[in-house]
Amino acid sequence: MPVSIHIPTPLRPFTEKLDVVQANGATVGEVLQDLTTRYAGLKQHLYAPDGRLRSFVNIYVGDDDIRYLQKEQTPVQDGQTLSIIPSVAGGAGAATEALPALTADEVKRYSRHLILSEVGMEGQRKLKAAKVLCIGAGGLGSPVAMYLAAAGVGTIGIVDFDTVDVSNLQRQILHGTSDVGRSKLASARDTLKDLNPHVNVITHEVALSSANALDLFRGYDVIVDGTDNFPTRYLVNDACVLLGIPNAYGSIFRFEGQASVFATKDGPCYRCLYPEPPPPGLVPSCAEAGVLGILPGLIGTIQATETVKIILGMGQTLAGRFLIYDAMKMRFRELTLRKDPECPVCGTNPTVTALIDYDQFCGIVPAQAAPPAPVLTDAMADVSVLEFKAMRDAGTAPLLIDVREPHEYDICRIEGSVLIPLGDLPARVGELDPTVELVMQCRSGVRSGKAAAFLRERGFRSVHNLTGGILAWIDQVDPSQPKY
């Protein structure tokens, strides 16, 4: 008595449309051999040219995956049932018949994909059917959206509400010099449409929030996290876990990048790795710490690669692995990531079952809740550069602490300032007298604001922040110095 083999819909064209066929053999390998002899058209779909079973084809004997038995050597008995289960894309799982057809133009455009057996016509149609949402049209979002558009991902959504600034162009290759001042979404749409007019670009000109994230994400197959701040990163993670949408994650900082895939069916999430964010203030953003312009190109390209693999259900994604890239050493390291049963969002007993206030979670006070601007007589009041100049001229200026990096200090500085980079401040706080009045200064006032808050928390009696930093000083007091 032969073995019955269940044929999945996409492969039925090769079995004369039969959903169950019979074949003989003592092992899974022999049965499949017999099957592909009877139905020769099946062979290339089940086996790679080197004769191995394709990685995206799973074979089950009864309810058991042969990968956990003896693979192709798994014995089979007469009357048993074998099932061929091709892996499906990112939860979409559309049958081949439901996939959109390719036009003649598209066939030409994607010919280098079509001749890859791992992509082929079916894979390219899966890409066309796929919907990917990029969070941000910045450094990471640029290569992600451009490569996904070029690859033929049919629908690309982008969430952003920023405008293009000239300082973006060092890394955000979606935008050009002529786009400065335009909305990033308009600029991104033009670039992507020029790259591939077959792609449907959906722009979401909103700030992503707990109120809109679930509605925005729903219907997308993969979310690509290209955010640069902790509240949004946790928001994206939690929304992906709650909706069961994989998250192709990437982040960049100075010369280092990270990438992984979170929130797959059985894989870990960002919170399995970092249940809680670092305290606010001590991890500077790219705007404050800088980033090598090429770095997002590399990390974003990894995110795009993972996205395409998820859609095609091929290869091994970074799910369960955390990739760390060091551009200075040109070195990749990989950590194993495990799904944490105690994870507050994807664990066995999750405590986060709906989106929360992520600004509060990350210790960031929302702007509207900030205290009113203190008056100058307040020991903690901000100081304008003109006020500071007047105090200096009068010989009453407090000690000025510059919290920028030494290479920034080399470009321009306020005479008499003491350099203590923000990152060194916790270690060097003992050098400062908490009873002495201080003015904190950086490039634009952001890092010095964090430094001031840090010192106030440690009991410093009078700490002011210099509004607008050295840039304001150069604008209003000393235009002879270079700005950067």
> What are the E-state strand segments in 113-181?
131-135, 155-159
Q: Which stretch binds Zn ion (CB under 5 A): 33-41, 57-65, 84-92, 335-343?
A: 335-343
Least Å distance between CB 243 and Zn ion?
14
Taking CB under 5 A as the criterion, the residue among 248, 272, 397, 438 binding Zn ion is 272
Least Å distance between CB 275 and Zn ion?
8
> Under rule CB under 5 A, which residues in 181-220 are in contact with Zn ion?
none
Q: Which is nearer to Zn ion, 217 or 454 (CB)?
A: 217
Q: Which is nearer to Zn ion, 187 or 251 (CB)?
A: 251
Least Å distance between CB 268 and Zn ion?
5
CA dihedral of 477, 392, 413, 468, whole degrees rounded to 10 = -60
Q: How far is CA 384 from the centre of its chain?
A: 38
Torsion 440-442-445-448 (CA) sign:
negative
Residue where the block lists tokens 């990350």: 362
Report whether 302 contacts 139 (CB < 8 A).
no
Least Å distance between CB 273 and Zn ion?
8
Q: Which is nearer to Zn ion, 272 or 439 (CB)?
A: 272
Report whether 305 contacts 143 (CB < 8 A).
no
Q: Is 240 a catalytic residue?
A: no
Report whether 275 contacts 361 (CB < 8 A).
no
Q: Which is nearer to Zn ion, 147 or 262 (CB)?
A: 262
Q: Is 442 a catalytic residue?
A: yes
Q: Which is nearer to Zn ion, 304 or 346 (CB)?
A: 346
Q: Which stretch binds Zn ion (CB under 5 A): 152-160, 264-272, 366-374, 467-475?
A: 264-272
Residue where the block lists tokens 């008995």: 77
Taking CB under 5 A as the criterion, the residue among 109, 113, 271, 443 binding Zn ion is 271
Torsion 160-165-171-177 (CA) sign:
positive
Taking CB under 5 A as the criterion, the residue among 245, 302, 343, 439 binding Zn ion is 343
User: DSSP per residue over 182-217, as a string?
Assistant: SBHHHHHHHHHHHH-TTSEEEEE-S---TTTHHHHH
Q: Which stretch binds Zn ion (CB under 5 A): 12-20, 222-230, 269-277, 398-406?
A: 269-277
233 touches Zn ion (CB under 5 A): no
> What are the E-state strand segments in 436-476?
438-441, 463-465
3-state SS assignment for residue 358: helix
Least Å distance between CB 249 and Zn ion?
12
346 touches Zn ion (CB under 5 A): yes
Q: Which stretch binds Zn ion (CB under 5 A): 183-191, 309-317, 340-348, 366-374?
A: 340-348
The encoded tokens of residue 399 equal 């000690």
292 touches Zn ion (CB under 5 A): no
Amino acid letter, residue 381: A
Least Å distance between CB 271 and Zn ion?
4
Q: Helices 120-129 and 295-312: crossing angle, nearest 10°?
A: 110
Report whether 249 contacts 262 (CB < 8 A).
yes
Q: Which of 272, 286, 346, 412 is catalytic?
A: 286
By CB under 5 A, name the binding residues for Zn ion: 269, 271-272, 343, 346
Active site residues: 286, 442
